[in-house]
Amino acid sequence: MAELNIGYYAHHHGAGHVTRALAIAAAFDGPLTLFGSRLPEQADLPNVQLCHLPVDVAPGVEGEAFACLHYAPLGVAGLRERMGLLVDWFRHAWPCLLVVDVSVEVALLARLCGVPTIYLRQRGSRFDAAHELAYACASRLLAPYPECLEEPGTPGTWRAKTCYAGSLSRYAGQVPAMAREPGTVTVIAGHGGTAFSRARLAAAAQSCPDWRWTVLGPIAEDATLAPVNLTFAGSVADPAPWLASAEVVVGSAGDSLVAELADLRCRFVCLPDARPFDEQLSTGRLLAAQGLAVTRERWPAAQDWPGLLAQARHLDPERWVAVSDGEGARRAAACIQAVAREVLA
């Protein structure tokens, strides 16, 4: 039989989809073609070939949505080009399988071309017609979280079709070598849109003068004066030193951040950002229910921060072992290769 070719589509919203794809690729036994509009210039992995896709937006064009499609605008050249590049790969790489993280439209394009897919599960209320169709068309579903964090109300048919890989992060299996510094907070703001602002962070730090705060990530500049215990370090390529040394980490409930905190065994104050399908809100609630985070669904008032940090100090970091055992990427890679052999035999 001809060699099986594996493709992986990583969505461009936020940095998490590409980070997760590269973590899986590093554990992958064989070549993999990674598609996306937000890929690094180089993969730095010998088994990964990058295919840079044009963006699927255009000035003045609104994205239309339908019951079974999330994004289907008319007249966007980049959308035609990206779909054409995928179809060309389907034609020339057959027999092939496509992992989709995530896009209902890309998954349906593959299925209409007769290409099997593995679809990445996401948090939140994904019970709309578009997700139902993508899940039904997929040969397998892949959850980058453990079954103990499964969404309440998930149909049994979806559970049976899902491979629960556990958390997937670039820090899998890493044990923090440094000790936690008492009285330190690392705040990490994501690239997919955040409710964090200089004014809010300044008020929080000012209310906790015994704590030293360091903020990582893109926070918009404004005229707010930072108190002496608050530092804005900007975006960093590798936040692990700040995450591993902080007594408490404050952040949103994005999949990649939660996975990184799980691997680094951090005490976590979780402030879910507004996202479609309430994905972060759902994650925050499940983490709180499992004793993995102190979650607040609205930005806390300044006077509430001392109590929040005190509460976070009592979290048991070893509870994260239920979410991450360091084998998530390996399980995901093994699932992808097993499904490819199964459906393309």
**In tens digits, what is the pLDDT along the chain, a chain of 345 residues?**
468 999 999 999 878 899 999 999 999 999 999 999 999 999 899 999 999 999 999 998 987 778 999 999 999 999 999 999 999 999 999 999 999 999 999 999 999 999 999 999 999 999 999 999 999 999 999 999 999 999 989 999 999 999 999 999 989 988 777 789 999 999 999 776 678 999 999 999 999 999 999 999 999 888 789 999 999 999 999 999 999 999 999 999 998 899 999 999 999 999 999 998 999 999 999 999 999 999 999 999 999 999 999 999 999 999 999 999 999 999 999 999 999 999 998
In the prediction, which pLDDT does 193 show?
60
Peptide bond between residue 102 and the one before it cis (omega within 30 degrees of 0): yes
Return the bridge partners of 143, or none: 164
Element (H, E) at 157: helix 156-161
Distance separating alpha carbons of residues 73 and 108, to the nearest angstrom = 16
Instruction: List CB contacts of 204: < 8 A, sequence separation 6 or more.
Output: 213, 300, 302, 305
How would CATH label the architecture of 5-166+326-343?
A: 3-Layer(aba) Sandwich (3.40)
Residue 138 tokens, joined:
């997929």
- What is the dotted CATH code of the domain comprising 181-322? 3.40.50.2000
Nearest to residue 287, comparing CAs of 267, 307, 301?
A: 267
- The dihedrals phi and psi of 318, each to the nearest 5 degrees, come to -70, -10
pTM exceeds 0.75, yes or no = yes
For CATH 3.40.50.2000, the residue range(s) in the chain are 5-166+326-343, 181-322
Nearest to residue 331, comparing CAs of 24, 8, 4?
A: 24
